[in-house]
Amino acid sequence: MRSARGGVAAQECLPLDLPPPVPPAPRERPAQVRADGEDVRIRLRNDALASHGWPAGTELLVSTDRRPRRGEVALVREGGRLRIGVLEIQFGRSALRTDHGSTLLGSSARMVGVVTVAGAPLAGMPAVVPRT
C-alpha cells in the first residue's frame, strides 16, 4: 500500500547553514625546560615526594646534562607534561615512583635531567606559584 502524499516534492529542506567550528581553547603551555646543559629550577606542586622530605613548595634544582639512573629522582617530559619521581624498572619498562603510586613511561617520554639539590619551602610562602 502506498501513501497518497506527494513524497519528496511536498517536504521542505532543513537549513544547514552551520556556524563555523569554534577552535578549542588553548591549553596551558608546558613549562619550558632548556636542554642546553643549564640547571633548571622547578617547584613541587604536591606532596608526591614527601617521603623524601620534599613537601609541596620544595624547590628542586635539576641538572639537564646528566641522564638519570635507576633509583635517582628524575624529571621526565611526556606528552607535553613534566613528571617527576624515582626512576625504576617495572614490567620491563621505565616507571616513575612517587608517594601516590607508580606511572609507567611510554615511548614518547624524554628524560630531562636528575634532581641534584632540594631547597625546603620557606614558612609563609605559598606552595604553588600562580602562573601569569
SS (H, E, C) 33-60: CCCCCCEEEEECCCCCEHHHCECCCCEE
The verdict on residue 100 lying in a domain is yes
Give the pLDDT confidence score for residue 30 in this predicted structure: 46
Cα 8–Cα 13–Cα 16 angle in degrees, nearest 5:
150
The residue range of the domain holding 40 is: 33-119
Give the pLDDT confidence score for residue 86 in this predicted structure: 92
Over residues 91-98, mean pLDDT:
90
The verdict on residue 37 lying in a domain is yes
Q: How confident is the model at residue 39 (pLDDT cuts 50, 70, 90)?
A: confident
Q: How confident is the model at residue 29 (pLDDT cuts 50, 70, 90)?
A: very low
Give the pLDDT confidence score for residue 88 in this predicted structure: 93
Over residues 25-43, mean pLDDT:
63
Residue 93: give its domain's CATH number. Answer: 2.10.109.10
Quote the mean pLDDT of the chain: 77
Tell me how many domains the chain contains: 1
The verdict on residue 10 lying in a domain is no
pLDDT of residue 74 exceeding 60: yes
The verdict on residue 1 lying in a domain is no
Task: Between 121 and 96, name the one with better pLDDT.
Answer: 96
Give the pLDDT confidence score for residue 57 in this predicted structure: 84
The verdict on residue 3 lying in a domain is no
Q: How confident is the model at residue 11 (pLDDT cuts 50, 70, 90)?
A: low
Q: Strand, coil or helix: what is 15? A: coil
The verdict on residue 132 lying in a domain is no
Kindly report whether the global pTM for this prediction surpasses the value 0.75.
no
